[in-house]
Amino acid sequence: MIATTVVSVPPVRPLAPPWYAIKVRSRGEFTAAAALRQRGIVTLCPQYSEMRRYCDRYKTMEKAVFPGYVFCQFDLHDKVSILSSIGVNYIVGIGGMPVAVPENELFNVRRTIEAGGLPTRYLKAGQAVRVEVGPLAGVEGLLVREAGRERLVVSVDLLQRSIAVNIAREHVHVIKAE
């Protein structure tokens, strides 16, 4: 008599394809996203509402959070169907190779929009900035983030000492690298 052991193996779930950023025609985000969805492609086009004032009325407009871009989840073997879709220019990448967008970044975007977040200029902690308004106008320093707040750090290199002040990102502009 031969003894057999039955081992139950959970079914293997195929990995979801990665997300990619797709460059689309100017102001054509919603059209391109709809065309891609018609082809069965999973898309993400984050949007927010903006009140526009016309001379005789106000109107609520839906605008793309990332103008000119739509995010799509697909396998790179299917990129021809993406590139041939209405309104699509190209798949964003480096050196001609598409680069996947980390799923956690898209999750963070979704949550922020759901919480009422609005688009703003991209400022990276550590960038050199100049204050444009207020009592600190003209002051230059580094933008840092501490405990969820932006702070302007002004340093005296010779003394290797710094001071910091809370600052609103609307009050600063990035200093161009020279």
pLDDT band, residue 160 (cuts 50/70/90): low
- Give the mean model confidence (pLDDT) for residues 93-107: 88
Res 163 pLDDT > 70: no
DSSP assignment string, 86-104: TTEEEE-EETTEE-EEPHH
pLDDT for res 121: 64
11 or 139, greater pLDDT:
139
What are φ and ψ of residue 76, in 5° steps? -60, -20
- Give the mean model confidence (pLDDT) for residues 87-95: 94
pLDDT for res 174: 84
Hey, where are the domains in the chain?
A: 19-114, 128-174
Q: What is the pLDDT of residues 5-41, one digit of tens each?
A: 555 555 555 688 999 999 999 899 999 999 999 999 9
Structure token pair of residue 113: 């929009």
pLDDT for res 159: 47
10 or 88, greater pLDDT:
88
Homologous superfamily of domain range 19-114: NusG, N-terminal domain (3.30.70.940)
Closest CA to 35 of 69, 93, 81, 99: 81
pTM of the shown model: 0.67
Classify 78 in phi/psi space as left (phi over 0), alpha (psi -120 to 50) or beta. Answer: alpha
Q: What is the pLDDT of residues 54-63, one digit of tens each?
A: 889 999 999 9
Res 65 pLDDT > 50: yes
Structure token pair of residue 41: 């492609």
